[in-house]
Amino acid sequence: MSMHELEATIAQIAVPGKGILAADESTGTIGKRFANIQLESTAETRRAYRELLFTTPGIEEFVSGVILYEETLGQRASNTKLFSELLAELGIVPGIKVDKGITHLPNSRDEKITQGLDNLTERLATYKEMGARFAKWRAVLNVSANTPSCLSVRANAQALARYAAICQDQGIVPIVEPELLMDGNHSLERCAEATEKTLYTVFHELHKHGVILEGIILKPSMVIAGTEYTPKSSIEAVAQATVKILRRTVPAAVPTINFLSGGQSSEVATAHLNAMNATKPHPWLLSFSYGRALQDICLRTWQGKPENMKAAQQAFYKRAKLNSAACKGQYTQTMEG
Ligand code: 13P
pLDDT, tens digit (0-9, with 9 covering 90-100), for 192-206: 999 999 999 999 999
290 has a pLDDT exceeding 90: yes
Write out the residue range of the structural domain in which residue 49 sits.
3-336
- What would the mean pLDDT of 141-161 be, rounded to a whole number? 98
User: Which one is catalytic: 97, 177, 197, 205?
Assistant: 177
Average pLDDT over residues 310-332: 98
Does position 1 have pLDDT exceeding 80, yes or no? no
Output the CA 19–ligand 1 centroid distance in Å: 13
Query: Quick one: pLDDT at residue 65?
Result: 99
Q: pLDDT, tens digit, for every residue of 100-122?
A: 999 999 999 999 999 999 999 99
Angle between helices 292-302 and 27-36 (to 10 degrees): 50
Q: Report the Cα–Cα distance between both ends of the chain, in Å, rounded.
A: 48
d(CA 216, CA 173): 6
Is residue 319 predicted with pLDDT exceeding 90? yes
User: What atom of ligand 1 comes closest to residue 260's alpha carbon?
Assistant: 2
Task: Tell me if the bond preceding 148 is cis, omega within 30° of 0.
Answer: yes
Number of domains in the chain: 1
Give me the CATH number covering residue 58. Answer: 3.20.20.70
Element (DSSP H or E) covering residue 134:
strand 134-141
The share of the chain scoring above pLDDT 70, in percent, equals 100
Residue 236 has pLDDT above 80, yes or no: yes
* pLDDT confidence of residue 285: 98
Q: Which residues line ligand 1 (CB under 6 A)?
A: 22, 138, 177, 260-262, 290-293
Q: What is the pLDDT of residue 146?
A: 98
The yes-or-no verdict on residue 2 having pLDDT over 90 is no
C-alpha–C-alpha distance, residues 195 and 189, integer Å: 10
Return all residues near 125 (Cβ < 8 A) that are at least 6 apart: 170
Separation in Å, CA 16 to CA 38, 275, 277? 37, 16, 11
User: Could you identify the atom of ligand 1 that is nearest to the CA of residue 221?
Assistant: 4
Give the orientation angle of helix 43-54 with respect to helix 292-302, to 10 degrees: 110
Active site residue 112: no
Q: What is the pLDDT of residues 253-263, one digit of tens each?
A: 999 999 999 99
What distance in angstroms lies between residue 259's CA and the mean position of ligand 1's atoms? Answer: 8
Res. 280 pLDDT band, cuts 50 70 90: confident
What value does the mean pLDDT take over residues 86-110?
98
pLDDT at 172: 98
What mean pLDDT is reported for the chain?
Answer: 98
Q: How far is the CA of 33 from the centre of ligand 1 (A)?
A: 13
List the residue whose alpha carbon is closest to atom 4 of ligand 1: 262
Give 41-60 pLDDT, tens digit per residue.
999 999 999 999 999 999 99
Full-model pTM: 0.98
Closest residue by Cα to atom 1, ligand 1, is 291
Q: Which atom of ligand 1 is nearest to the CA of 269?
A: 2
Ligand 1 centroid to residue 90 C-alpha, Å = 23
By CB atoms closer than 10 A (0-12, 13-18, 19+), residue 271 is: buried
Helix (H) or strand (E) holding 8: helix 3-13
**Residue 78 in 3-state DSSP?**
coil
Catalytic site includes residue 177: yes
